Amino acid sequence: MQPRKLLARISRGDLQNVSFSDFCRLVEAFGFSIIRTSGSHRIYGHRQIPELVNVQDVGGDAKPYQIRQVLRLVERYNLRLGDAP
């Protein structure tokens, strides 16, 4: 799914059954880059944000609470799709 379409979907509150790979693409489209991988977790960082983003693959889907965390960061730091890391 395209990052813009996924963002529109999760912004409406549809957080269930979000593909882990699609969600990772969305996180990266906001300018985050992988800092490290630990098991099923990917840790992302952004040069303008002091907080790290932890994303976990559970049966091919992203966890809803992690999706909400990313949405809050996007809103708090006014990130836009296509922001460079």
Provide the 8-state DSSP code for 19: B
Q: What class is the 3-76 domain?
A: alpha beta
- Give the rounded percent of residues in the chain with a pLDDT score beyond 70: 96
Confidence of residue 83 (pLDDT cuts 50, 70, 90): low
* Mean of the per-residue pLDDT values of the chain: 93
Residue 71 pLDDT exceeds 80: yes
pTM of this structure: 0.91
Where do the structural domains in the chain lie, given as residue ranges?
A: 3-76
Sheet of 33-38, strand order: 33-38, 41-46, 49-58, 61-62
Q: Is the dihedral of CA 75, 54, 29, 45 positive or negative?
A: positive
Could you tell me which residues come within 8 angstroms of residue 15 by beta carbon, excluding any fewer than 6 positions away?
64, 67, 68
pLDDT tens, 18-58? 999 999 999 999 999 999 998 889 999 999 999 999 999 99
Kindly give the residue spans of alpha helices, DSSP state H, lying in 1-85. Answer: 3-11, 20-29, 64-76
